[in-house]
Amino acid sequence: MGKNQNEFVKEITPQGEDFSQWYTDVIKKADMVDYAPVKGCMVIKPYGYRIWELIQAAFDKRFKETGHQNAYFPIFIPESFFCKEAEHVEGFAPEVAWVTHGGGEGLPERLAVRPTSETMVCAMYAKWIQSWRDLPVLINQWCNVVRWEKATRPFLRTTEFLWQEGHTAHATAEEAEEETRRMLDVYAECVEGTLAIPVLRGQKTEREKFAGAVRTYCIEALMRDGRALQAGTSHNLGQHFAKVFNITYLDKNDQLQYVWQTSWGVSTRLIGALIMVHGDDRGLVLPPKVAPLQVVIVPIGPAGKREAVLARARQLHQELQAICRVHLDDREEYTPGWKFNDWEMRGVPLRLEIGPRDMEKNQVLLVRRDSGEKCAVAQDDLAKTVQDFLAEIQLLLFERARRFREDNTHQVADKEEFDRVMENERGFILAAHCGEDSCELHIKEQTGATIRCLPFTAEPVSGRCVYCDRPAQQWAYFARAY
């Protein structure tokens, strides 16, 4: 066995020893990414990119089902566009990359490399929208964005990353609010149903909302190290951008009105969430719906019977192609044990083993990645069993993650308990809060925790703020976050 093989099968850093190093080990050894020559950027390798394609397909299907169309807008944004909305430019200024030269000559106006597309989209909507008949405008784009981050980590926070951003325009405030909440629900459905990641839905505080938005809604997930990750956001932009960019329409009474807008987005950080919610000390654990390979076939047998075993393996491969994403690992240079380790590291949900004895019994051995359970299955029952197992694994991974979140969500009543839980147990803390920005900032400075969201709940809040003892105004979920 060569040097690279020996290095690959070494044990990765356990989660309990160093979660951050575990994450780095997994994404590298599972061959998902490599570090680019440009600081803070990543190269997404085919296995990692296939996961993104499957995520993208699931979301894109739901976008189209809700009436949205895909378009594309330029990556370069004139500085004059970007600076029109003061709150927006202030929020993004520290992260913006600027182009000052092109073709060896200085540009007459700096161009921002897209950190988000609201300003470019608004400039176009001002041209396209004239009448109430032009509304609503429901457009989404899949693209890359650039944000000049100081501290980066692949998938979670990089200088350049991939995402989608929806941009809609409506005739009324009610329609815009309905759209904002609808798309948050679409995000939650996709993340829970496709990625098997349970999420909290709620509203961001004024301090944490998107720069230029009236309200920001979000979905929040809990990673296995007890930190939260913002998995998606949906923003009600009100008429702020419409008034700055003069996006108006003639209503049915021939009165000139400003449109009401929304924007919403998810990114490749969902891959980071996928890794950190489901992964274990052996590597990735992928939900079947986003696994590049759902089944891997590993033939096992001595040299004298290899061809016969391979012939049966190829037959099984052909049969399973109709129902799942399946791969036959017929590499001769690796042992079956090395292959088992390899595919476990990559998180393939099911491994199918077949050898001479299995052929004699007309069966195969199925091994589940999520539980390690082994099951001998008659070849005549294989297709149905594979489908049943994949569906079951998908549901069980969601349920396991949901139980983990519940076990690591703590409702606390006072500052002492808040500090103790955040320092020793982490996870989500649900607590009453005064709603004051100064208190929110103080909690962040003292504990490192931020308000992840204000939950959608009909339960009234009463009593005192968990941290400053002012009258409580809202329930809030707190956590340390990525």
Tell me: the pLDDT tens digits for 206-264?
999 998 899 999 999 999 999 999 999 999 999 999 999 999 999 999 999 999 999 99
Per-residue pLDDT band at 4 (split at 50, 70, 90): very low
pLDDT recorded at residue 89: 67
Whether omega before 136 lies within 30 degrees of 0, making that bond cis, reads: yes
pLDDT recorded at residue 198: 98
Architecture of the domain made up of 293-391:
3-Layer(aba) Sandwich (3.40)
Output the pTM of the full model: 0.94
Per-residue pLDDT band at 5 (split at 50, 70, 90): very low
**Does 410-479 carry CATH code 3.90.660.10?**
no
Cβ 296 vs Cβ 316: under 8 Å: no
Query: Is the confidence at residue 106, as pLDDT, over 90?
Result: yes
Q: What is the mean pLDDT of residues 76-105?
A: 85
pLDDT recorded at residue 150: 84
Q: What is the mean pLDDT of residues 65-89?
A: 88
Nearest 5°: the CA angle 198, 202, 205 is 135
pLDDT recorded at residue 2: 39
Q: Give the Cα separation of 441 and 206 in Å (integer).
A: 12
Q: Nearest to residue 167, comparing CAs of 208, 120, 130?
A: 120
Least confident window among 37-46, 316-325, 398-407, 453-462: 453-462
The CATH label, of 3.30.930.10, 3.30.70.20, 2.40.10.10, 3.40.50.150, for the domain at 3-278 is 3.30.930.10
Q: What is the mean pLDDT of residues 346-366?
A: 97
Q: What is the pLDDT of residues 174-210, one digit of tens each?
A: 999 999 999 999 999 999 999 999 999 999 999 999 9
Where does residue 369 rank: exposed (0-12), middle (13-18), buried (19+ CB within 10 A)?
A: buried
Nearest 5°: the CA angle 180, 182, 186 is 115
Domain range summary for the chain, segments of one domain joined by +: 3-278, 293-391, 410-479
Per-residue pLDDT band at 88 (split at 50, 70, 90): low
What average pLDDT is seen over the chain?
A: 94
